Structure 1
């Protein structure tokens, strides 16, 4: 499970660095397609890749926040509630999808794998999350517990309550450091 925590930490680094590429705390890119296939393993490190759906974010200086955006087509079962509702979007769509990726790491299943896309999308918009087997959700393994907490940070229904990529990354790095002090070497 330490390997899964390492992968989750690397994923969170990639998303956090992308969001903050221009200035820390000022999101400038939303990937909008965070799935396992968007990461490439290079020299033992998972790196974010495939930016064909990304949105470069403009800054609203009057509201002191990134401008919201729309993506015209949001298929599948791996996206955020606001994407399926075709509401205004922020970089936080990536956070929700990152939670799905962490779910896949733990369960080895796609979210709502057994459901048709439309049915899964309705559940996601209604605030439901894919099932988690009790051997995972009740695990005492500290690496699993850390990933479960990260999923909780990512899967908030309300965009404003969802963690930033850097918050998830900071949490996972701290948990990894506790369990494996040599991991940064």
Structure 2
């Protein structure tokens, strides 16, 4: 079992202030790596709030958690409502300056870049009400970035006030490389539904090499592991899709947009995290438990990152050609997005990534792997892929078939753990 802590073996490197930092210096193949670096966050009794918030807030959240099946023993972690505003600095910014320009927008916010191009300002769109829900959601975004300042895989926050945040400027979205041909969700038609490649001609719709595809998949998984394994409590991103990752000029892939993030509550009576509900929601990128309004935890991110891996492998969006309603029906019925069977044995890298996608798509969240196992199998896949490349065996059908059988055995052992 590779991901559990093991005191045997060579000592941890001496540099670094914490065990986590020091462990990042050991080889990823060391079976202690995942446990030391990505060990799931622990909540002690001093780290959650029994009170400190008004009764209406506690009652409201208790009701939500009762719906999730965890009852009134669920409490906010101690930092859940930490606020670190820098409003004075924010109010000094003049957005009427002619060199400031709008470079993007999402459903809730507009993104402005400053003249020096070192930072961006995200402001609320006027189409939405400036209400308590929005202040909470945008505050979540700033809080998660602040708490994960130490992670090189999370966008850096520079300032926050109300519904506005200032972050480092990263202009390169990798979504366009993953799925080059974009489309309007309202204009999807059944004509784009994928079918098996004719005459065995397997071709991805993107131009990423398999080295790049495996590396991007690993980077996405590692950034989610920083959230799920945060030392002060599990954080669920809750909106995993390719557009959430940006590539810096130094080549670092960073995750951002945490306004839907869920800081999971802690049940000290049972010593576990409390599930929550979002209400039944639509969308191609949602897990079965989300579309059916069932209790949720961090496993929804694992299912959704499998959708990202699908796009990375094929160059297409999941359920391409289906409406949100049609995709929801398929998700509920566990009809998985179409993956050409040729991917499974075409090359080792393609076969391994196809298997990781299926691993993420385990229907029952209790049986679905955690993100740390996904990180683990992707690291092993990259290691084996590079090994076969150096021997020029990555396309040898007999060797590829044997190696993929070993990969299947590994995944199966992780499923039954």
Same fold (TM over 0.5): yes
The residue aligned with 1:18 is 227
The residue aligned with 2:240 is 34
Q: CA RMSD in A?
A: 1.6
The alpha carbon displacement at 1:103 in A equals 0.5
Gaps of 5+ in 2: 1-209, 388-417
Q: Which has the higher helix share?
A: 1
- Once the two structures are superposed, the pairs formed by residues 8-157 of structure 1 within 5 Å of their partners are 8-22=217-231, 28-42=234-248, 43-72=250-279, 74-139=281-346, 141-157=347-363
What TM-score results when the alignment is normalised by the length of structure 1? Answer: 0.89
1:44-101 C-alpha deviation (Å, 9 max, x unpaired): 2221111111000112233332110112463311110000001111100000000000
Flag the 1:137–1:73 CA change in 2: closer, same or farther, 3 A: same
What is the alpha-carbon distance in structure 2 between the residues aligned to residue 177 and residue 41 of structure 1? 23
What TM-score results when the alignment is normalised by the length of structure 2? Answer: 0.41
Worse overlay, 172-181 or 6-15: 172-181
1:133-181 C-alpha deviation (Å, 9 max, x unpaired): 2332342x12112212211221000001111001100111122123337
Does the residue aligned with 2:355 lie in a helix, a strand or coil?
Answer: helix
What is the alpha-carbon distance in structure 1 between the residues aligned to residue 352 and residue 224 of structure 2? 18
Worse overlay, 94-103 or 168-177: 168-177
* Structure number, greater radius of gyration: 2
Gaps of 5+ in 1: none
Q: How many residues align?
A: 177
What is the alpha-carbon distance in structure 1 between the residues aligned to residue 372 and residue 324 of structure 2? 30
1:96-127 C-alpha deviation (Å, 9 max, x unpaired): 00000000101111111111111110110111
**Runs of 4+ with deviation above 4 angstroms:** none
The residue aligned with 2:115 is none
What is the alpha-carbon distance in structure 2 between the residues aligned to residue 132 and residue 65 of structure 1? 36
